[in-house]
Amino acid sequence: MKIRRKLLIAFSIYMILALIPAVFAYRELSTLRKRLKPVEAASDITSSYLELRKNEKTFLLLKDRDTLQLLKKQIGMLKGGLDDIESEVLREIGAVNYASLREAITAYETGTLKLAENFNTEQLTINKLTDLGRRIEKVLDGSELQTFLVLRRHEKNLMIQRDSSSMDVFRQTSALIKSSPEADLAAYRTSAEKLFSLYQDEKQLENEIRNSASIIQTYTESILQGERQDIDALLKISMNLLLASLVIVIVIGALINARLAATIAAPIREIRKFAERVAGGDFSKTLEVKGSQEFISLADALNLMAVKLKDTVSSLELAIQNLHDKQGQLVEAEKLASLGRIAAGVAHEINNPLAIINEKAGLMQDLLAISSDFEQKKSITAQIEGITGSVNRCRTITHRLLGFARRMDITIEPMNLNEAIRETIAFLKTDILTKAARLDLNLAEDLPEIRSDKIQLEQVFLNLIKNAVDAVAAGGEITITTSRKDEGAVQVFISDNGSGIPKDKLNHIFEPFFTTKGRDKGTGLGLFVSHAIVRKLGSRIQVQSEVGKGTTFTLDIPIKPTLSKEMTA
């Protein structure tokens, strides 16, 4: 029997065994899902109750219309929540308790409305009491006025304390006033009595509201607790069913797996041994297994993989060898960079004695200028001029060394393109003379002044011209041409009649460490660095080459460069 069929039978048994408890578990989960809605509704009712109590405290504190409206809204939400799960509530707490809950909510709502009316009456009474007090103050004088002012303080104390002792003190003090207008004083006393009565009613209403809220809280908590207990019971049943299914599947699966292992373990061992030999680099033997067709097909695939892996290992060894070669080129590049730093240090050291020689030669020239003529004066003057000329030449060379060894930061400044090319050629004059190459300069004199990094452009020119010198044979020809491309750019053409670059290598010349020169003649970094500089300066470099005829590099340089992201980073 094939492994596929064996596995199909085993999984079919798994599914049949797991299906029976799964059906029961599904039924319980469906019931649980239905029961979750009442739980959510009961939770919403509890939340509505908590919001109701919070708004109740705010209303008792602020006594404003907006809070009252919000309180009414919360009472409506509480009623609506109970209506949504009325059947569940009746099942949890019974019809009698449900009726009590409804009565408590109605009593709470009624008490809230009465308390709101009481607050309004209190405010009207306070306003009236205050107006009467001010009116009486205006007609009293002397000791009666002093007594009435004391009474006004007791009035404020009554509004703050709201207790019987404060009211008794108010009554006793008001009895001492005799000369006040009887009508106003009687109305003043009546308003105070009414305000005290309203305060008593307010306390009673608050107590009734709190009692109703306590009843509501008791029933809402019972509803939520009952729903949660039902959910817990359903969850326990579902967990037990799932646990039973798991035990059955594990037991039957262990028996089936033991049977399957007996039929497939041997081929797997052979495959493992073969894999270990291949991992150790032994490709001399092929894999042969007996058994199911699947294992035979797998053995064929592994044999094919071993053949391809052998080829891959060979390619990898070659790649590693190439990597070692590139590493050697990188070391050479680092040596060149170190040589540049050493050259910069040497240039700095040479500049100091050159400055002293130049200063002394200038002093000798000044002394000769003020001295009288003598026989060797002209000869000495000529010798001193030779010294100063040599000093200036040395200074130019050291400045160029410093320029080419300086940092790679971009410094944009106005520059003359033709002058930069001439300075670069002067630096390579020895190489050109050694090669006996002919250099043709076709530099347009009407070129505008451009803004770029002179030092880095000179490095690009140096790399391209040096490559041209290396490419031509002895007596070869190198041509450098400058021209105006358009309103925003100029062009530089550097051509040679050397050996040229093959087409299959032309797309790789700007890659690092790629070179068409011999291993001892180049690092493969010159064009890579030049391409990076040109791109940072917002310029463009192109190349055309034909084997046996030569190569032309074209530089498009903007008059006012648009800085690239690399340049501004």
Tens of pLDDT, residue by residue over 173-184, are 888 887 667 788
Categorize the per-residue pLDDT at 289 as very low, low, confident or very high, splitting at 50, 70 and 90: low
Widest pairwise Cα distance in the chain: 144
Lowest-pLDDT choice from 66-70, 116-120, 305-309, 334-338: 334-338
Contacts of 65 (CB under 8 A, 6+ apart): none
For residue 197, the model assigns a pLDDT of: 92
For residue 182, the model assigns a pLDDT of: 78
Q: Convert 478-495 to b/e letters by CB count within 10 Å (16 or more is b).
A: bbbbbeeeeeebbbbebb
pLDDT > 50? residue 351 = yes
**Has this prediction a pTM greater than 0.75?**
no
Orientation of helix 182-279 relative to helix 142-161, angle to 10°: 30
Question: pLDDT (tens digit, 9 = 90+) per residue, 136-162?
Answer: 888 888 888 888 889 889 989 988 988
- Residue scoring higher pLDDT (319 or 498): 498
Instruction: Tell me how crowded residue 219 is: count the other CB atoms within 10 A of its CB.
Output: 22
For residue 156, the model assigns a pLDDT of: 92
pLDDT > 50? residue 566 = no
Lowest-pLDDT choice from 103-112, 260-269, 272-281, 370-379: 260-269
**Which class does domain 3-140+180-245 fall in?**
mainly alpha
Question: pLDDT (tens digit, 9 = 90+) per residue, 470-514?
Answer: 888 888 899 999 999 888 899 999 999 988 888 888 888 887 777
Write the DSSP assignment of 330-368 as a string of letters.
Answer: HHHHHHHHHHHHHHHHHHHHHHHHHHHHHHHHHHHHHHH
Could you identify the residue written with the tokens 């599914």? 15
Of these ranges, 9-13, 209-213, 318-322, the one predicted with the greatest mean pLDDT is 209-213
- DSSP secondary structure code for residue 449 in this structure: P
pLDDT > 70? residue 543 = yes
Question: pLDDT (tens digit, 9 = 90+) per residue, 38-72?
Answer: 667 667 777 777 888 888 888 888 888 888 888 88
Mean pLDDT of the chain: 79
Give the Cα-Cα-Cα angle 414, 420, 424 (nearest 5 degrees).
Answer: 155
**Residue range(s) of every CATH 1.10.287 domain in the chain:** 3-140+180-245
pLDDT > 60? residue 432 = yes
Instruction: Tell me how crowded residue 365 is: count the other CB atoms within 10 A of its CB.
Output: 15
**Residue range(s) of every CATH 3.30.565.10 domain in the chain:** 409-568
E-strand spans in 117-198?
A: none
Lowest-pLDDT choice from 82-91, 236-245, 288-297, 420-429: 288-297
- Residue scoring higher pLDDT (395 or 458): 458
Cβ(147)–Cβ(181) below 8 Å: no
**Beta strand 489-496 with 540-546: parallel, antiparallel or unpaired?**
unpaired
For residue 554, the model assigns a pLDDT of: 94
Report d(CA 364, CA 370) in Å as an integer. 10
Categorize the per-residue pLDDT at 330 as very low, low, confident or very high, splitting at 50, 70 and 90: low
**Which fold does the domain 409-568 belong to in CATH?**
Heat Shock Protein 90 (3.30.565)
Question: pLDDT (tens digit, 9 = 90+) per residue, 211-241?
Answer: 988 888 887 888 777 777 777 777 777 777 7
Categorize the per-residue pLDDT at 14 as very low, low, confident or very high, splitting at 50, 70 and 90: low
